[in-house]
Amino acid sequence: MALALRAMFAPYGLTLCWVADQAVIPGSYWGECEAGLIAATLYVRADTPVHSALHEACHYICADPTRRSRLHTDAGGDDTEECAVCYLSIVLAADLPQFGSARMFADMDAWGYSFRLGSAQRWFLEDADDARDWLLVHGLPIAVTSANSPSA
């Protein structure tokens, strides 16, 4: 998974940095094992959930260049950008071997992401126009490109 994440994030200029087991993850908003973000570095441990790494990486991807350089722990952004981050996380998850969008939906629901329709998958398929529009305006991917489609 580490190689796939590195390859996925590299085109955006984001570096993946592994932290020693049990060490505090720099830049982690939620603490514990959750991913951390400082400028162009995403910090993870072996026990960091993939959905957490994807979510924080997508905060970086969605930030403008000025905000990217200042990112530290709290990525900021407005509610629509947060929806775009969630949407992009699902799109990118579909292209991760051994993970996929179905796993991302389940992890998002278990972690406690809250969506108007009651689940991440229903939100993604039926209620995410604002997130898709935000990504389109900012030139970011909105389509699943692998066999791991959200409806699978």
| Three-class DSSP labels, 82-134 | HHHHHHHHHHHHCCCCCCHHHHHHHHHHHHCCCCCCCCHHHHHHHCCHHHHHH
Q: How confident is the model at residue 34 (pLDDT cuts 50, 70, 90)?
A: very high
Task: For 108, list phi and psi in degrees, rounded to 5.
Answer: -65, -45
Please give the pLDDT value at position 150. 52
In one-letter notation, the amino acid at residue 122 is R
Sign of CA dihedral 74, 78, 83, 87: negative
Q: How far apart are CA 136 and CA 113, in angstroms?
A: 23
Structure pTM? 0.91
86-129: per-residue pLDDT in tens? 999 999 999 998 999 999 999 999 988 777 788 999 999 999 99
Work out the mean pLDDT of the chain and round it to a whole number: 90
Instruction: Please say if the pLDDT value at position 148 is more than 50.
Output: no
Decide: 140 and 90 in contact? Cβ < 8 Å.
no
Max intra-chain CA distance, the chain: 40
35-89: per-residue pLDDT in tens? 999 999 999 999 999 999 999 999 999 999 999 999 999 998 899 999 999 999 9
